Amino acid sequence: MGDNSNQDPNPGTTTPASTAPISNLPQPHRYITGHNPSGQAIVHSHSPFAWQAYDNDNLAFAVPYTTSVFPPNLNDDADIAAHDRVLASGRLGLVNPRGTVLRCVDFAPGYACGMHRTQSLDYGIVMEGEVEMVLDGGERHTLRRGDVAVQRATQHQWVNTSKTEWARMMFVLQDCEKLVVGGREMGEDLGGNSGLPASGN
């Protein structure tokens, strides 16, 4: 499962947000497009990712974008205003109810996040390094750069298998209908490792 010695006994501990990643991986940038008055495509805004460190600086999140309704309303930049409100609220959990979250995650060498489940359909793409996906049913799979995990509200854990190199994944989390398996509702379970509020979906 990887070296858990990097785990803080109080995983909710955070440090102030920063525009520099805590890892030695390259700083990604966000480009939001839009239209000029003639209807031609332009770059509405461009900025580096803003990072929030967790768990004694062994884990960091950046949230380049969110949506809060489906389908999103792009008229008059309503979606951009909604995203700004979500981030400013300070109440964003792993999932945004009725919407989506684009989240980039950096994992320190040997770091294992806690076992958790979100009530969402997630696309997780490995960008850098190798990450082991551990499922509560006992399966373990090593994902390498470019590999994709489609998480369907399952209990899982991410482990950076390298003892020396940081790993990075990009996630798109989409709110989903409540899932019932064998008569039991499979709701969100953050374990003790996220440092985030409950999603409330």
For residue 130, the domain's CATH number is 2.60.120.10
Whether the CB-CB separation of 156 and 138 falls below 8 Å is answered with no
The total domain count for the chain is: 1
Whether the CB-CB separation of 51 and 20 falls below 8 Å is answered with yes
Identify the domain containing residue 79 by its residue range. 4-185
Asked whether residue 193 is domain-assigned, the answer is no
Could you tell me the sign of the dihedral formed by the alpha carbons of 89, 95, 98, 104, in that order? positive
Report the relative pairing of strands 180-181 and 184-185 from DSSP bridges. antiparallel
Per-residue confidence (pLDDT) for residue 194, from 0 to 100 = 56
Per-residue confidence (pLDDT) for residue 197, from 0 to 100 = 86
Per residue of the chain (201 residues), what is the pLDDT tens digit? 334 334 333 344 455 567 789 999 999 999 999 999 999 999 999 999 999 999 999 999 999 999 999 999 999 999 999 999 999 999 999 999 999 999 999 999 999 999 999 999 999 999 999 999 999 999 999 999 999 999 999 999 999 999 999 999 999 999 999 999 999 999 999 886 557 788 989
Asked whether residue 41 is domain-assigned, the answer is yes
Give dist(CA 188, CA 200) in Å, integer. Answer: 9
Asked whether residue 190 is domain-assigned, the answer is no
Per-residue confidence (pLDDT) for residue 191, from 0 to 100 = 82
Distances (CA, A) of 37 to 40, 41, 81: 8, 10, 19
Give dist(CA 188, CA 199) in Å, integer. Answer: 8
Q: Classify 84 as helix, strand or coil.
A: helix
Asked whether residue 23 is domain-assigned, the answer is yes
